[in-house]
Amino acid sequence: QDEEPKKIVLVKKRFLSSFKGPKLVQTLIIIVCFGVVIQQISSCITKLIDIPVTTYTHFDFNKTISYPSVTFCREPAYNLDDLWEDITYSDQEFFVQYGLDGSTDNVKLSPTVGFLYGRCYTLTPKTKGTRASKATGYSVTLKHSSEDLDTASGIHSPGYHVYYLYVSVGETVDVKLTVDKYSKISGEHDPCTFEKDYSANLCVWDLVGEQAGCSGPWMTSDLPRCSNYTTMRDLITAYMNTYQSHSCGSCPRFCMSYLYNSFVTDRKTLYVWDTNEKKWCMSSGDAALQTQLYIYFNSMMVSVYEERFNYDWNLFISDLGGSI
């Protein structure tokens, strides 16, 4: 019983002596090193809990390349002389001709009806390109009527919306394409999906249809059409708010996506190629009401941006061993 108090007193003396004389510096160094080790271990554990993400960039040279789907929307979008289905324009009123790699069989033409741009048409490639040149890309001739020019009253002159480009009547435009591939990791605050048959547009239509209780003519839905001013106003408001919201958790983006960039390399107005004279000349007649587009790749190179987790148990053990 007498030995225990002596041991306690001895420990206290040794502890106090470590803060006196030369041992003070040694003790401070040990405390600092111990604190640094604890901080580094805590940092490693934090990385395991909230794993950091790093974006890796590299370039792929492909033997084949996929062309993007291209959507054409007419301006003006509506034929105000008619109603219901006839208020928009048919494909015969859009196109003179179209094709990919010199053939119409290489593309699929699909109509879609939107609220802002009426009936639009999308060209979807059926084959992949094996060469990058103007001759193997899209070649599209669009048309307008003289009545459109005479009665134009909108913000834009008569023409077509093509991606973020706007082409007017009578223009010949060469568009060069490049493609970037993005692969992101789905997170709690920024979800995404790998579903193949997923459509963000259909998701938005279902979402706003449930909010308004009815559907619009530009939507594919089993809900009844909105039949009065109030319900249509609520539908349009919900549609615009959801459509313009990039943080809509109910309709996530794709985790794997391709960004096609287009650059106008040549633009001519009211000129056509005279095959007999072998030169450009002023267009007239029906040719003056047509728009010619060439959309193509000039390289098989793809830029890849890929998100990856930048920490795992192997790195944790390595960091832990280095810290200790």
Tens of pLDDT, residue by residue over 163-180, are 777 887 778 899 999 999
- Judge if 176 and 277 occupy the same domain: yes
Residue 87 has pLDDT above 90, yes or no: no
* Structure confidence by residue, pLDDT tens digits, 31-64: 787 787 788 778 777 777 777 888 889 888 888 9
Place of tokens 């033997």: 63
- Judge if 157 and 298 occupy the same domain: yes
Average pLDDT over residues 295-317: 84
- Judge if 112 and 123 occupy the same domain: yes
Percent of the residues in the chain that have a pLDDT greater than 70, as a whole number: 77
* Inside any domain, residue 132: yes
Range of the domain at 124: 60-184+255-305
pLDDT at 297: 93
Dihedral sign (CA 269, 291, 276, 282):
negative
- Judge if 203 and 78 occupy the same domain: no
* Inside any domain, residue 34: yes
pLDDT at 18: 61
- Judge if 139 and 154 occupy the same domain: yes
Q: Is 51 within 8 Å of 311 (Cβ atoms)?
A: yes
**Average pLDDT of the chain to the nearest whole number:** 79
* Inside any domain, residue 242: yes
Which has the closest alpha carbon to 30: 19, 40, 41, 21? 19
* Inside any domain, residue 238: yes
Which has the closest alpha carbon to 215: 235, 198, 201? 235
Place of tokens 């909108």: 154
Burial class from Cβ neighbours inside 10 Å (0-12, 13-18, 19+) for residue 144 reads buried
* Inside any domain, residue 316: no
Residue 273 has pLDDT above 60, yes or no: no
- Judge if 279 and 166 occupy the same domain: yes
CA distances 160 to 74, 97, 117, 149, Å, are 5, 15, 10, 13
What confidence tier does 206 reach under pLDDT thresholds 50, 70, 90? confident
Between 288 and 226, the more confident residue is 226
Residue 7 has pLDDT above 90, yes or no: no
Dihedral sign (CA 138, 102, 113, 288):
positive
Residue 67 has pLDDT above 80, yes or no: yes
pTM over 0.85? The answer is no
Burial class from Cβ neighbours inside 10 Å (0-12, 13-18, 19+) for residue 284 reads exposed
- Judge if 125 and 273 occupy the same domain: yes
- Judge if 70 and 150 occupy the same domain: yes
Residue 282 has pLDDT above 60, yes or no: no
- Judge if 268 and 278 occupy the same domain: yes
pLDDT at 283: 56
pLDDT at 152: 61
* Structural domains counted in the chain: 3
pLDDT at 105: 93
Q: What CATH code is carried by the domain that includes residue 83?
A: 2.60.470.10
* Inside any domain, residue 315: no
> Which residues pair with residue 168 across a beta bridge?
159
- Judge if 241 and 102 occupy the same domain: no
- Judge if 71 and 152 occupy the same domain: yes
- Judge if 11 and 118 occupy the same domain: no
